[in-house]
Structure 1
């Protein structure tokens, strides 16, 4: 959470555009809320499904159509 906040609120030109995807065992609604409030784009709870992970990454790489 601290790293995401640092990235998002830094003075770097692209700080708000860098995709940040968290993969965590913390799957409660409160955990997801804190992640998104910290500036992360996505919250993926373990155990991860490979298809969900691939689609999520592809979405931020502009390659969504390749994984439908």
Structure 2
């Protein structure tokens, strides 16, 4: 199972938290189509590797503020 499939299962699963829990794609695949596929699968953000900790922190803060 890849990340897209895992995200779709989380989003459609029985656990209600799966509908809203933030999911961030962290991948070396950084082309425009990869980003689009991540969002189409139900992910909330896409960060390319190698991970920039400042970008990760900014992304996590944004997702957290969206939940509040």
TM-score above 0.5, yes or no: yes
Q: 1:33 aligned to 2:33?
A: no
Q: What is the 5 A alignment of 1:7-26?
A: 7-26=10-29
- Aligned-residue CA RMSD (Å): 1.2
Structure 1 gaps, min length 5: 63-68
Structure whose alpha-carbon radius of gyration is higher: 1
Q: Could you list the structure 1 runs, at least 4 aligned residues long, displaced by more than 3 angstroms after superposition.
A: none
Q: TM-score, normalised by structure 1?
A: 0.80
Which is further off, 7-16 or 35-44?
Answer: 7-16
Alpha-carbon distance in 1 for matches of 2:43, 2:11: 8
Number of residue pairs the alignment of both structures matches: 62
Higher helix proportion = 2
**Equivalent residue for 1:49?**
52
Deviations 1:4-33 (A, max 9, x none): 000011132222110000110000011111
Q: 1-side partners of 2:53 and 2:16: how far apart?
A: 32
